[in-house]
Amino acid sequence: MTLQIAADVDGRSTSRALATAGSWLAVVFLAATALIVTAFIPVTGRADIVVGIAGLVVTGFAVVAALRTGSQVRAVLYTVAAGLGLALYAFVVAGVSVADAGTAAAPTSDFVLLSMPEFAILVVGIAARSLARSLVLGTLALLVGPGLVQLVAWQQGMRLALDVPVLASWLALVLFVTALWIGRREAARGTAQMLDSALAEERHLAEARFTARAAAWVGDTVLTDLRALAATPPGPLGDRMLQSLDRDLANLADTSLVLSGPEIGASASRSLASVPLLVSVVRAAEQQGLRIRVTGDTEVINGVRPADARNLERAISECLENVRRHSGQIDAEIAVYYSAPEVSVMVSDAGVGFDVDAAGDETVGLRVTVVDSIVETGGSVQIWSRPGTGTAVFMTVPGAPR
């Protein structure tokens, strides 16, 4: 099991979302201001208002660029450019307002047409990737935006007035980004704790899986070898049995076989613990690179007399060796059938096949080792094969009543 924790701890997704929201907010305020101011051109006859609108366009592009950039230096430069564009706009609009209304009747510096675009520049810091950067950009935006507008309006003859909505908006943004970054910090701590817990759980499950696989591997191997030894007649062990025991001892010392669990489960020899005769045959073939599929009622082989079982084992081994050497395939199937009082075993492959009637290396081993071994038990052998159609060897030996 793998625990995946989705969290925007580093703030990338949140910053992109805030940058998009800030861009739209700035564009809406600036576009609304530009539309309103444009309506004053025919009323006042002042074509220089177009220059002020151009200043708004500069402000809009600069604010969007400041929100989108990942560089603090570029964000500062874009913010300054946005402030200068806003100052140009304020210079034109304040001049027109004072000229048309006269100095005494001129609106104050918190005039709505000056305040509206100021809201746009205040958002440049909300998408910054740290709290310090956000506060620096937000404060800079307050100074070069509303600050310069107030200065330009005063120079143009307007009376200074505290722009409460703008200051309240700046303070609200400061509180917002502060709360946001505190939340991010707490989220990072919580995510770290959850990840630690997840990793601990992963380690626990991995240890449990390893322990279970190791127990199954050792149990199957030892039990299989003990059963094979129990079925072996008294006296010195044969070379094949000694080789099988040596391989098992080497495998028990190789932890990679346990760690590769699925491959172990796929081995045919792992499912044959109750059939000692087939275990050594299948395991030896797998060691040689074959993939063996065993089907049928395999346990009926346990009823074959020990002497006949040895001959059957020799015959099956020769069939699998023939598959490895001559078939051109690595897949083979062993199918076991019981029809009282006989046990039948068929070894087949989907390889290149051969001409059964022709003399060749493929037929020598089958005819000498397989046929002779099975006939010695009183059984029979049938071989089916044609070039390009694979090979099947059907062997029948006497079995015990079930």
DSSP string, 249-270: HHHHT-THHHHTHHHHHH-GGG
In a domain, 310, yes or no: yes
Looking at the structure of the chain, the number of domains it has is 2
Mean confidence (pLDDT) of the chain: 79
Percent of the chain whose predicted confidence (pLDDT) is above 70:
73
Are 22 and 142 within one domain? yes
Are 64 and 183 within one domain? yes
Are 190 and 307 within one domain? no
CA torsion, ordered 173, 177, 182, 183, to nearest 10 deg: 100
Q: What is the 3-state secondary structure (H, E, C) of 290-341?
A: CEEEEEECHHHHHHCCHHHHHHHHHHHHHHHHHHHHHHCCCEEEEEEEEECC
Are 48 and 148 within one domain? yes
Are 269 and 189 within one domain? no
Task: Check pLDDT > 70 for residue 48.
Answer: yes
CATH of the domain at 306: 3.30.565.10
CA 191/CA 139 separation, integer angstroms: 31
CA 34/CA 30 separation, integer angstroms: 6
Q: What is the 3-state secondary structure (H, E, C) of 176-228?
A: HHHHHHHHHHHHHHHHHHHHHHHHHHHHHHHHHHHHHHHHHHHHHHHHHHHHH
In a domain, 145, yes or no: yes
Are 180 and 33 within one domain? yes
In a domain, 178, yes or no: yes
Q: Return the closest-CA partner of residue 176 out of 14, 20, 24, 68.
A: 14
First to last CA, the chain: 45
- Select from 159, 194, 229 the last residue of a domain: 194
Q: Which two tokens stand for residue 15?
A: 């910053």
Q: What is the pLDDT of residues 290-338, one digit of tens each?
A: 888 888 888 888 888 888 888 999 999 999 998 988 888 889 999 998 8
CA 302/CA 245 separation, integer angstroms: 20
Query: Across residues 137-155, what is the average pLDDT?
Result: 90
Backbone angles phi, psi at 141, to 5 degrees: -60, -40
Are 273 and 148 within one domain? no
Give the H/E segment covering residue 394: strand 391-398
- Select from 194, 221, 236 the last residue of a domain: 194
Q: Which two tokens stand for residue 77?
A: 């430069």
- Select from 194, 228, 256 the last residue of a domain: 194
Are 29 and 120 within one domain? yes
In a domain, 157, yes or no: yes
Are 145 and 280 within one domain? no
Are 180 and 57 within one domain? yes
Between 1 and 199, residue with greater pLDDT: 199
Q: What is the pLDDT of residues 245-287, one digit of tens each?
A: 666 666 665 555 555 543 333 445 555 667 788 887 888 888 8
In a domain, 207, yes or no: no
Q: Which two tokens stand for residue 345?
A: 């075993």
Q: Give how far the C-alpha of residue 240 lies from the chain's centroid of Cα atoms, to the nearest Å.
A: 46
In a domain, 235, yes or no: no
Are 174 and 277 within one domain? no
Taking a C-beta distance cutoff of 8 angstroms, is the pair 398, 341 a contact? yes
What confidence score (pLDDT) does residue 213 get?
A: 61
Query: Across residues 50-68, what is the average pLDDT?
Result: 92
Q: Which residues contact 121 (CB under 8 A, 6 or more apart)?
A: 26, 59, 63, 79, 82, 83, 86, 141, 144, 145, 146
In a domain, 238, yes or no: no
In a domain, 3, yes or no: no
Are 279 and 137 within one domain? no
Q: Which two tokens stand for residue 154?
A: 């005063």
Q: What is the pLDDT of residues 163-177, one digit of tens each?
A: 888 899 899 988 988
Structural domain harbouring 70: 12-194
